[in-house]
Amino acid sequence: MGAPPIRTRQTKQHGPRHARFSVAVPPGRLRSLPLGRLCCIVAPLLLAGCMVGPNFRAPSAPAVSGYTVETRLRPAMATDIVGGAPQNFVDTLDVGGQWWREFNAPQINAFVEEAVRNHPDVRAAQYALRAARETALQVRGQWVPQVSGNVSATREQITAASGGTTGKPTLYNLYETTVNVSYTLDVFGGIRRQVESAEAQAQYQRFEMEATYLALTANVVTSAVTDASLRAQIAATQAIVTAETDQLRRVQRQFEVGAVSQVDVLAQQATLAQTQATLPPLQKQLAQGRNQLMAYLGRLPSEDRGESVDLRSLRLPRTLPVSLPGQLVRQRPDIRLAEATLHQAAATVGVNTANLLPQFTLTPSVSSQALTVGQLFTPQGLAWTAAASIAQTLMDGAQLYRTKEASVAAFEQDYALYQSTVLTAFQNVADALRAVQYDAATLRAQALAEQSALDSLKMAQEQFKVGAIGYAIVIDAQQTYQNAVIARIQTQAMRYNDTVALFQALGGGWWNRIDETSDAAIRNGGYLEGPDGPALAATRPGLPDLPPTPEPGTAKEKSR
């Protein structure tokens, strides 16, 4: 993928700087400074447009035209059973914002809506985004001069002796107001890089929210399909148990009239018991899967109301989107997360580079003193100062320099991690495409295997009736048919889950919907206002709780 695509502004460095000095110019001296020296002080202040460090640019997408070696993907083959619809891959077809509706299952739609509405992870991601945005605004506040004020009133009595005289003491009131201003000139862009870093962190949280939303919706749909598959497997197993129970009765009647041996009866009993033994594991998977589904919906396991999806009612989408590789890097939330991390790392390099250079600060101050309140703001009581300082580290054991070098290494690391994320994303899409293709072929093979197993079982049963074969062949045919039925149901579910995986691998269509809620918006509440959301339930008015006082004679009291 090449080197990091960034543009840098070169700043001549002479190794690490150490200790710190400052120069303050008294206001009275400004008029007496020679013009050349005055320019030397003012000129750096005029360089406020300079920004050291790398200027970030999003990395380019890999220069490939597809996700597989074929230029055109073969459609997924059709099978004339439920879940066997053909599927065509359509280049440049966009992923819908509500892709789960493609399965034509109202219950799945209801599950997804409930999960997004109720799951705490979604709310946590919204509030994390809001916190990051508030932090970015807080960092932006460094561009504004910091102003502080002070008002004081003093009543004082001074003895005459303190002034070298005799007589009565003097009693007076002194009122004073002071306004202090401090402003750091962003000469080398350190503050702007901090703002850039904070905004990149807000972008990170934005795509963290999208990743949370995508993972939750995909997990809900997959869990609902798996739930439907397990129910179908349990129903099929119960039907096989019923058929094998009927077969056992027939074999027992034949044994009673001497047509078969007891070995055949015992063999059928063993087959029935083995089939029955497969039910509890399926039921356990179903129960645990229901608990997981309830957690995705934001419910407790005891709040399960029994809603479910019938595997036979699901519809397999006939057309599947295949985004262009150049679009995938802008659509995958995990890639955008890695990009935001890389952006933040680049800005951090700029911040640490600016810390190596001189810092320019203006600190004007205005005050007023008077013996009465009415005289506070008269010209006679006003005093002011205007100071400018330049601070530079001269000796610190190379701490600032090594901090900058560490951030450069961290940036290189984040770029490598970004490349790894892109590789994984392309692999995910390619895996999902292959799964759609090959699981469609698997379903066709499983359907044929199931039909062949059923025909073989019927034939074996007929041949056994006329004594042409032994009962062991019938037992083998029963087990083969049972395995074929379960495998076919599992493969049906796999085709739906493969489609979910493809939608997820392509980014989930977040760009076609609005996932942000009011929880992520900047709040403009009262200046001292505290929580006003769901977390308010975890607070209460009044004084904080004090630790309980140990009763006399207890261990804690004795330890004192």
Given a cut of 60, whether residue 381 has pLDDT beyond it is yes
Tell me if 366 is assigned to some domain: no
Strand, coil or helix: what is 532?
Answer: coil
Higher-pLDDT residue of 2 and 247 is 247
Number of H helices, E strands in the chain: 12, 11
Given a cut of 50, whether residue 125 has pLDDT beyond it is yes
CA–centroid distance for 157 within its chain: 66
Handedness of CA 454, 456, 457, 458 (dihedral sign): positive
pLDDT at residue number 368:
83
Tell me if 299 is assigned to some domain: yes
Tell me if 52 is assigned to some domain: no
Residue 328, classified by CB atoms within 10 Å of its CB into exposed (0-12), middle (13-18) or buried (19+), is buried
Given a cut of 50, whether residue 44 has pLDDT beyond it is no
pLDDT at residue number 555:
54
pLDDT at residue number 550:
66
Lowest mean per-residue pLDDT among 136-145, 165-174, 493-502: 165-174
Spatial separation of the C-alpha atoms in residues 8 and 53, rounded to whole Å: 6
- Is residue 493 within 8 A of residue 84, CB to CB? The reply is no
Given a cut of 50, whether residue 560 has pLDDT beyond it is no
Tell me if 303 is assigned to some domain: yes
Give the CA distances from residue 268 to residues 244, 284, 458, in Å, rounded to whole numbers and listed in that order.
8, 26, 16
Higher-pLDDT residue of 539 and 507 is 507
Tell me if 50 is assigned to some domain: no
Given a cut of 90, whether residue 229 has pLDDT beyond it is yes
CATH number at residue 275: 1.20.1600.10
Tell me if 173 is assigned to some domain: no
pLDDT band at 547 (very low <50, low <70, confident <90, very high): low
Higher-pLDDT residue of 558 and 328 is 328
Looking at residue 313, its amino acid is S
SS (H, E, C) 322-338: ECCHHHHHHHCHHHHHH
Strand, coil or helix: what is 515?
Answer: coil
Given a cut of 90, whether residue 131 has pLDDT beyond it is yes
Lowest mean per-residue pLDDT among 49-63, 149-163, 301-315: 149-163
Residue spans of alpha helices (H) in 186-261: 190-256
Given a cut of 80, whether residue 251 has pLDDT beyond it is yes
pLDDT at residue number 141:
92
Q: How many domains does the chain have?
A: 1
Average pLDDT estimate for 48-65: 87
Q: Of 127-131, 146-150, 518-522, which one has max mean pLDDT?
A: 127-131
pLDDT at residue number 19:
36
Lowest mean per-residue pLDDT among 22-36, 200-214, 229-243, 403-417: 22-36
Looking at residue 205, its amino acid is Q
pLDDT band at 552 (very low <50, low <70, confident <90, very high): low
Nearest to 54 by CA among 11, 12, 6: 6
Given a cut of 70, whether residue 543 has pLDDT beyond it is no
pLDDT at residue number 194:
93
pLDDT at residue number 164:
76
- pLDDT tens-digit readout, 466-500: 888 888 999 999 999 999 999 999 999 999 999 99
Given a cut of 70, whether residue 182 has pLDDT beyond it is yes
What proportion of the chain, given as a percentage, has pLDDT over 70?
A: 88
Given a cut of 70, whether residue 195 has pLDDT beyond it is yes
Strand, coil or helix: what is 87?
Answer: strand
- Is residue 184 within 8 A of residue 359, CB to CB? The reply is yes
Average pLDDT, the chain: 87
Lowest mean per-residue pLDDT among 188-197, 499-508, 520-529: 520-529
pLDDT at residue number 234:
97
Range of the domain at 212: 62-145+186-358+398-520
Tell me if 27 is assigned to some domain: no
Average pLDDT estimate for 400-421: 96
Q: Of 87-96, 354-363, 404-413, which one has max mean pLDDT?
A: 404-413
Average pLDDT estimate for 22-46: 42
Tell me if 213 is assigned to some domain: yes
Residue 7 parent element (H or E)? strand 7-9
- pLDDT tens-digit readout, 276-326: 999 999 999 999 999 999 999 999 999 999 999 999 999 999 999 998 899
Handedness of CA 301, 307, 308, 309 (dihedral sign): negative
What proportion of the chain, given as a percentage, has pLDDT over 90?
A: 65
pLDDT at residue number 48:
44
Residues 6+ apart with CB under 8 A from 115: 122, 216, 217, 220, 296, 297, 298
Given a cut of 90, whether residue 236 has pLDDT beyond it is yes
pLDDT at residue number 545:
65
Q: Of 33-47, 340-354, 382-396, which one has max mean pLDDT?
A: 340-354
pLDDT at residue number 11:
38
Q: Find where tokens 């070696």 sit.
A: 69
Higher-pLDDT residue of 400 and 164 is 400
Spatial separation of the C-alpha atoms in residues 84 and 77, rounded to whole Å: 8
Spatial separation of the C-alpha atoms in residues 461 and 476, rounded to whole Å: 11
Phi and psi (nearest 5°) for 96?
A: -70, 150
